[in-house]
Structure 1
Amino acid sequence: MSKMEESEKISEDFIHLARIALSDRQQDVHAFLHRIAKRTEDPSLASALVELLRKRPTRSSTLRRSPTVALPVDTDSRFQLLRQEERPVLPHEPIYADAVQDMLRRLVEERMRLEALTHAGLEPTRTVLFTGPPGVGKTMAARWIARELDRPLLILDLSAVMSSYLGRTGTNLRYVLDYAKSIDCVLLVDELDAIAKRRDDAAEIGELKRLVTVLLQQLDDWPSSGLLLAATNHAELLDPAVWRRFEEQVAFGLPDREAVRAFVNSLLELVEPNAREWSDVLSLALSGQSFSDIERKVNSARRSAALNGTSISDHLATLLSVNDRPKNERIELAVQLAESGIASQRRAHELTGVARETIRDRLRSKGF
């Protein structure tokens, strides 16, 4: 390329950058600077741009959009269409399967090490779909990511504002997503299946189908400077085209026994001297349940103990519902209760229905 051609190219780039900057399209400015950093043959310019993008305006910067800008509201009802958590707080550290935890950490690392990606001609992940049954930690994962990145979390609950959208096509949806694009945040689109159902579902009215089209356009146009997370409890209801628009999919399953053990221990370790022993026992009794169900039951037991002025252990014992458990699991549970010392053989028999002779024989075979 001759010097004249190079000069003309620089002028075109400068004019284009000025145009989108004056249009207050921050996400497009970021994307354009990313492209320049990737294609320039000047390493010093590439490094300088990468550094600027890495240190893009923070919440305390005067360059950042004012945090006093009101959240989007529905034109008719004046209800807010987004919930904002400026500094997400977690009641406890999340516990996930290794594959899920590795993906969450990678999403954070991509934005913490933006320079490495840019030098490789790559951009960070823009869109991620969280799937799984209720109560397995999808929303908490979004809070964890936002906290680790030190960004506010915006939550769009589609099921809660569905009545606002009907009759207004995709106007409100575009408004909300454009707002989220314009600030440095993590956006969680909750209950995605509320509008992103399969478009061949004859039971759905045309309005919802048009909203799916709006959503697809927004996903295609989402800037790499932002992170859009979407969550659904009903992945089977999603339109196949929606699946393809997400760069990553993370499947959250019900916690396995080890995860239940660690989670229960985190809930009890500061309030129950035998937290470790109860964690072992409850990891079997509560297996197959979600984190939210487990937390609700443990906290209910704690409340009952506080109100009655009795030991937490007495109320944790009520969580040992074994009627629907196979015989071998009831035996294992009874032996654990006696082996841990949190229940006598007689009490273990009363709680599980397992004969004391069986409990005694199993303990003897284990050297007790």
Structure 2
Amino acid sequence: MDDQGMYDRDIVHLARVAMAGRPQDVQTLVQRLARRYQRSNAGLAESLRSLLQSAPHPDAPMRDHGNASPVPLDGDSRQALIRTEQLGPVRTPVLAPAVREQLEQLRDEHRMRDRLESAGLSPSRTGLFVGPPGVGKTLAARWLASELKVPLLVLDLATVMSSYLGRTGSNIRKVLDYAKSSPSVLLLDELDTVAKRRDDDAEVGELKRLVTVLLQEIDDWPASSLLLAATNHGDLLDPAVWRRFDVIASFPIPRPAELREALVQYCGDEDVEVIDFLVRILSGYSFADAERFVLAAKRKAVLTEERLFDVLLGAGQSHMRTMDHADRLQIALDLMQDSELSQRRVSELTGVSRDTLRRRQRDK
């Protein structure tokens, strides 16, 4: 295509988006055109950048972060399609170092969007969070929204699926248009419910078309907001979905160091002895499972008027009784190696006899 043909195509595309009444998409397209014409038509590129700089900024002080548009409703049930959370300060999630670095960069890119735009760049617009349940994907989205001081909009794709698939597409468009109308973080939860592999013969044609619509919407997402999607089953996603996201963060089951940091948050000022013990017996737990374990102990401590320390130890010992002897022995040996607990105390906690512990130590 020659330069004139490309210019004509871009003008038609811009007009189409403008006539559809999608101002955020117009700004996104103008940003792209300014970058595209930087070399071939520097004057046009500079004029487009000037227009962007003079346009009302979505974070201007007079702009209300609240969305004046009505919350979109499902045509069948008349229930709200989206949940809005106006967030204050949110507890910093405990995350693997690589994931934390990705989230902090996402935050900083949107906080310093003007700096990027002055260099002809735009912030990452989309992020995909992949990992098993309970590892911090939703909490990470809440933290980002809190850090950016914008609402968190949550769309649970498992609940938005209509009995008529054509309406599901309409529902998703309603939510995406709503989220584009003002700065926000939009979280598409359970993305695999909709964005399944299009080569799956078990899926009907309408659902495959729905994936195509969703991919187009992700491509056109404005830089003024952040679109996040979460899935517990990345293997079910259409391969094209992975390529559409600017950032892909894999949330693993917490390692001992991360689990320990989280347990310190959950338990408060409890003695290090109980923390070390819990890290061992809750190995392989998600953050959510570990927090539920601690909350159950806290409730019991209040009701029975016992010390939380004693309740946590008792709960941990009860949990250990469900393990086989080999696992309990390994936990006991790890505690003796990595903590300052005495052999007697380790034996009391784990139920492994001191004779067994002595014998294993001698055999090393």
Bin the TM-score by the shorter chain: 0.7 to 0.9
Instruction: Report the equivalent of 1:28.
Output: 25
Instruction: Report the equivalent of 1:208.
Output: 207
Instruction: Report the equivalent of 2:332.
Output: 331
- Provide TM-score, normalisation by structure 1: 0.81
- Match of 1:74, as an amino acid? D
- Provide TM-score, normalisation by structure 2: 0.82
Q: CA deviation at 1:202?
A: 1.9
Deviations 1:77-123 (A, max 9, x none): 10111000122553x32111111000000001111222332233221
Checking the alignment, whether the CA contact within 8 Å between 2:31 and 2:49 is kept in structure 1 is no
Checking the alignment, whether the CA contact within 8 Å between 1:132 and 1:232 is kept in structure 2 is yes
Instruction: Report the equivalent of 1:57.
Output: 58
* Mapped partners of 2:337, 2:264: distance in 1: 16
Q: CA deviation at 1:155?
A: 0.5
- Match of 2:31, as an amino acid? H
* Mapped partners of 1:208, 1:21: distance in 2: 29
Checking the alignment, whether the CA contact within 8 Å between 1:82 and 1:155 is kept in structure 2 is yes
Name whichever of 23-32 and 234-243 sits farther off: 23-32
Instruction: Report the equivalent of 2:233.
Output: 234
* Mapped partners of 2:118, 2:62: distance in 1: 26
After TM superposition, the structure 1 = structure 2 runs for residues 147-296 of structure 1, keeping only pairs within 5 Å, are 147-163=146-162, 166-168=165-167, 170-270=169-269, 272=270, 274=271, 276-296=272-292
**CA distance change for structure 1 residues 307 and 338 in 2, over 3 Å: closer, same or farther?**
farther
**CA distance change for structure 1 residues 76 and 20 in 2, over 3 Å: closer, same or farther?**
same
Name whichever of 143-152 and 68-77 sits farther off: 68-77
Instruction: Report the equivalent of 1:96.
Output: 95
Name whichever of 139-148 and 19-28 sits farther off: 19-28
Instruction: Report the equivalent of 1:312.
Output: 308
Instruction: Report the equivalent of 1:82.
Output: 82
SS at match of 1:326: helix
C-alpha RMSD of the superposition: 3.4
Deviations 1:49-76 (A, max 9, x none): 67657x72349635x5863432100122
Deviations 1:222-258 (A, max 9, x none): 1222211000000001111111111221100001000
**CA distance change for structure 1 residues 165 and 93 in 2, over 3 Å: closer, same or farther?**
farther
Instruction: Report the equivalent of 1:137.
Output: 136
**CA distance change for structure 1 residues 334 and 98 in 2, over 3 Å: closer, same or farther?**
closer
**CA distance change for structure 1 residues 279 and 291 in 2, over 3 Å: closer, same or farther?**
same
Q: CA deviation at 1:22?
A: 7.4
**CA distance change for structure 1 residues 192 and 36 in 2, over 3 Å: closer, same or farther?**
closer
Checking the alignment, whether the CA contact within 8 Å between 1:74 and 1:164 is kept in structure 2 is no
SS at match of 1:79: coil
**CA distance change for structure 1 residues 165 and 181 in 2, over 3 Å: closer, same or farther?**
farther
Deviations 1:136-181 (A, max 9, x none): 0000111111111111110000002213663425111111111111
* Mapped partners of 2:199, 2:118: distance in 1: 43
**CA distance change for structure 1 residues 295 and 330 in 2, over 3 Å: closer, same or farther?**
same
Q: CA deviation at 1:19?
A: 9.0
**CA distance change for structure 1 residues 65 and 99 in 2, over 3 Å: closer, same or farther?**
closer
Q: CA deviation at 1:204?
A: 2.1
- Match of 2:28, as an amino acid? A
Q: CA deviation at 1:266?
A: 1.1
Checking the alignment, whether the CA contact within 8 Å between 1:88 and 1:152 is kept in structure 2 is no
* Mapped partners of 1:330, 1:100: distance in 2: 28
Checking the alignment, whether the CA contact within 8 Å between 1:170 and 1:211 is kept in structure 2 is yes
Percent of residue pairs identical: 47
Instruction: Report the equivalent of 2:350.
Output: 352
**CA distance change for structure 1 residues 240 and 156 in 2, over 3 Å: closer, same or farther?**
same
- Match of 1:155, as an amino acid? V
Checking the alignment, whether the CA contact within 8 Å between 2:332 and 2:347 is kept in structure 1 is no
Q: CA deviation at 1:336?
A: 7.4
SS at match of 1:160: helix
**CA distance change for structure 1 residues 163 and 150 in 2, over 3 Å: closer, same or farther?**
same
Deviations 1:165-210 (A, max 9, x none): 6342511111111111121111100000001111122222333222
Q: CA deviation at 1:220?
A: 1.7
Checking the alignment, whether the CA contact within 8 Å between 1:165 and 1:173 is kept in structure 2 is no
SS at match of 2:98: helix
SS at match of 2:158: coil
